[in-house]
Amino acid sequence: MDPTEDSDSDKLKRMANAIRALAMDAVQQANSGHPGLPMGAADIATVLFTRFLRFDPAHPDWPDRDRFVLSAGHGSMLLYSCLHLLGYEDMTIDELRRFRQLGSKTAGHPEYGHASGIETTTGPLGQGVANAVGMAMAERLLAGRFGPEVVDHHTYALVSDGDLMEGISHEAISIAGHLRLNKLIVLFDDNNISIDGPLDLAESGDQIRRFEAAGWNATRIDGHDPAAIEAAIAAARTSEKPSLIACRTVIGFGAPNKQGTSGSHGAPLGADEVAAARKQLGWTSAPFEIPTDVRDAWRIAGLRSSQARRAWESRLAALDGDLRTEFDRRLTGDLPTALAGALDDYRRKLAKDRPALATRNASQDTLDVINAVVPETIGGSADLTGSNNTRSKGMAAVTPDDFSGRFIHWGVREHAMAAAMNGMALHGGIVPYSGTFLVFSDYCRPAIRLAALMKQRVIHVMTHDSIGLGEDGPTHQPVEHLASLRAIPNVNVFRPADAMETAECWQLALESRGGPSVLALTRQKLPAARLEFDDENRCARGAYELRPADGDAAVTIFATGSEIEIALAAKSLLDQTGHPTRVVSVPCFRLFEKQSPQYQAETIGQAPVRVAVEAAVRMGWDRFIGTDGIFVGMTGFGASAPYQELYKHFHITAEAIADAAHDRLEAGV
Ligand SMILES: Cc1ncc(C[n+]2csc(CCOP(=O)(O)OP(=O)(O)O)c2C)c(N)n1
């Protein structure tokens, strides 16, 4: 055997043991956590981070760095240990000591924004691998626009059995295979163990054949053999397809009594087993201490790419001035200055034309304006392009051979679409928006929740937003979705009432840099409700008085989207019978909550009778109407029929509103 090879391998083993020691010590100290994955995957991480991954701990946001996603977020100590050892300033030894404690950067699962080097929040299995697909797509999209001199990096993900059992992984790997994302390399911690025990309790598939069938290269190696790991990654980097490297590992590697069992997955090993593991691994250092030679080797690895980063900076500086400015703008996330003016002009035109449009069509018209001046939007639809109207004029589709387009046919893969969009937003340089039916927001929800948690600007266009979609029936008619999306913290749920509000809500969604937005849009045509041009974006208030009462209001009607038309008709009926009525449009609950208490009180008003109208369930509306207010909407599932009949059938009509208000007024409230 070549002695240098032997010593290289020994060195890598000791470097990997540093991860193992830190992981078991931190979990022991926290008295909770998951030592099994970091100990099992330590050899993979060591080879990847010290031989391949291109990054610079001193410049963690270097746009052309390789991305690493720890999809199996429960193995967070693997990531934290590597970041610490590589010299990321955020990740001090004290942070490792404070693993899982309040206010530490080392939360139970990796949280985006807590520390540099954490590229995404993971924990819900399957999300990370789909994020990685989105990051790899973003790389291709941006490379096409700015050139390989400034955009040329790989995306790596470490996944576990659990990641690959989750349904979202199917969607993610199939779109990645279809798009031939060859700079995506997935390392599979193939340990045949999950929480309940051996994997064969619940799984008997063949991951290699599964990935191959999806258009990937797939190989299986010994995940404890550094030379094999190195060779497999090197080969994957030359592949024309995305690559899976199934690394056969032993969970909890090094813990003599618990390794290879689910007992090492998610609980501290215990003092005796930690001591036994130290012995087995030949690790003599005290907890949280790293021998100097090992620390030095990791630090040197951390410095590996600083030269490459400087070279990249020179290449960026050499770009044509306009292109460089544009690159910087996109990566910063600022919108083009031309947008505000373009939307103002468009809104002036709407005030003049007062078009009667379904809001999904109004959205497409708005997108024609937006996409002409905002080159970073990447649109798409989960196989409902003609229904969602998310493909604006002249928008070319992305194909496996050509990423110069801006529209993604996601196929029927809502979950991966939403999660990959998170990956695109996290990558930077792109503002992704999607398309599907509102009822299928359920299929996107885990990813929308993570976008909210990570404060990512992703925009979901969700059409067919109520019984107003008609004949497709109750399976397709959302009733609880608005309430359930509104319940997620940090999500803007917009339900615009006409073309003007649609344009305003789109603008707000684009400007919402700190979180996701959902645009709930109608299938059916709506008349213009906003008849004048306003300097301010009125939807920005979340709720505003659309029509005042003539005199002191006896009734206030709150409504959203398609029910504004009904509310306005009810106002006429009530006005005619001598009950001055005002109508408040509520395009976004969340933005309303951000207004001053005074504005909120004025907008809710003093009218003795308050009615809310929304073709959905009541949940959330008591905020506006009180527990004794009148709610006109849905109490259960919809039905299949032409929509005009459905509105009558479910008593969501101007007459029903007026009658209920009259009853209340006659009863002396
Ligand atoms: C969506 C989701 N479901 C369930 C869990 C809880 N959970 C965490 S790890 C895990 C499975 C562990 O098996 P594996 O993924 O193979 O990880 P390993 O035991 O090898 O570390 C489960 C069910 C989760 N984190 N996410």
Band of the pLDDT at 668, cuts 50, 70, 90? confident
217-235 per-position pLDDT tens digit = 999 999 999 999 999 999 9
87: left (phi over 0), alpha (psi -120 to 50) or beta: left
544-583 per-position pLDDT tens digit = 999 999 999 999 999 999 999 999 999 999 999 999 999 9
Cα of 249 vs centre of ligand 1, distance in Å, is 16
Residue 333 has what pLDDT?
97
Residue 124 CA: nearest ligand 1 atom is: 26
Residue 469, pLDDT > 60, answer: yes
Nearest alpha-carbon partner for 39 in 298, 274, 296: 274
Residue 131, pLDDT > 90, answer: yes
Residue 34 CA: nearest ligand 1 atom is: 21
Residue 7 has what pLDDT?
84
Residue 4 has what pLDDT?
53
Q: What is the mean pLDDT of residues 16-20?
A: 98
Nearest alpha-carbon partner for 502 in 532, 545, 537, 550: 537
d(CA 543, CA 63): 39
- The angle that helices 321-332 and 127-146 make with each other, rounded to 10 degrees, is 160
Residue 37 CA: nearest ligand 1 atom is: 21
Residue 194 CA: nearest ligand 1 atom is: 13
Cα of 559 vs centre of ligand 1, distance in Å, is 43
d(CA 363, CA 463): 10
Q: What is the mean pLDDT of residues 475-500?
A: 98
Cα of 548 vs centre of ligand 1, distance in Å, is 55
Q: What is the mean pLDDT of residues 257-286?
A: 97
Q: What percent of the chain has pLDDT over 90?
A: 98
**Which residue, chain included where needed, has tokens 């649109």?**
379
Pocket probe for ligand 1: among 121, 190, 195, the residue whose CB has the most ligand atoms within 8 Å is 195
526-537 per-position pLDDT tens digit = 999 999 999 999
CA dihedral over 499, 504, 507, 512, signed as positive or negative: negative
Q: What 3-state DSSP class applies to 520?
A: strand
Cα of 87 vs centre of ligand 1, distance in Å, is 29
Query: What are the residues whose beta carbons fall under 8 Å from the beta carbon of 120, sequence distance 6 or more?
Result: 69, 110, 112, 127, 128, 131, 422, 423, 426, 454
- Which residue is closest in CA terms to ligand 1's atom 18? 194
Band of the pLDDT at 203, cuts 50, 70, 90? very high
Return the percent helix, strand and coil in the chain, to nearest 5.
45, 15, 40
d(CA 104, CA 314): 36
Residue 609 has what pLDDT?
98
Residue 401 has what pLDDT?
97
Residue 6 has what pLDDT?
62
Band of the pLDDT at 1, cuts 50, 70, 90? very low
d(CA 425, CA 434): 12
431-462 per-position pLDDT tens digit = 999 999 999 999 999 999 999 999 999 999 99
* Beta-bridge mates of residue 625: none
Pocket probe for ligand 1: among 44, 131, 190, 194, the residue whose CB has the most ligand atoms within 8 Å is 194
Q: What percent of the chain has pLDDT over 70?
A: 99
Residue 210 or 7, more confident: 210
Cα of 415 vs centre of ligand 1, distance in Å, is 18
Residue 2, pLDDT > 80, answer: no
210 CB neighbour count, 10 Å cutoff = 17
Pocket probe for ligand 1: among 131, 160, 247, the residue whose CB has the most ligand atoms within 8 Å is 160
Band of the pLDDT at 129, cuts 50, 70, 90? very high
95-107 per-position pLDDT tens digit = 999 999 999 999 9
Radius of gyration of the chain (CA): 28
315: left (phi over 0), alpha (psi -120 to 50) or beta: alpha
pTM of the model: 0.98
Pocket probe for ligand 1: among 122, 196, 265, the residue whose CB has the most ligand atoms within 8 Å is 265
Residue 420 or 321, more confident: 420
Residue 166 CA: nearest ligand 1 atom is: 1
Residue 191 CA: nearest ligand 1 atom is: 20
Q: What is the mean pLDDT of residues 316-323?
A: 95
Cα of 431 vs centre of ligand 1, distance in Å, is 31
Residue 182, pLDDT > 50, answer: yes
Q: What is the mean pLDDT of residues 333-337?
A: 98
601-614 per-position pLDDT tens digit = 999 999 999 999 99
163-175 per-position pLDDT tens digit = 999 999 999 999 9
CA dihedral over 607, 613, 618, 619, signed as positive or negative: negative
Q: In the structure, which protein residues have their CB atom closer than 6 angstroms to any atom of ligand 1?
A: 36-37, 72, 74, 123-125, 160-162, 166, 189, 191, 193-195, 251, 265
The burial class, CB within 10 Å (0-12 / 13-18 / 19+), for 209 is exposed
Q: For this structure, is 414 an active site residue?
A: yes
The burial class, CB within 10 Å (0-12 / 13-18 / 19+), for 331 is middle
Q: How far is CA 374 from CA 91, 138, 164, 289, 322, in A?
A: 37, 16, 36, 51, 15
Q: What 3-state DSSP class applies to 435?
A: strand
- Which residue is closest in CA terms to ligand 1's atom 21? 37
> Please, what is the average pLDDT of the chain?
97
Catalytic member of 414, 563, 565, 614:
414
Cα of 162 vs centre of ligand 1, distance in Å, is 5
- Which residue is closest in CA terms to ligand 1's atom 15? 162
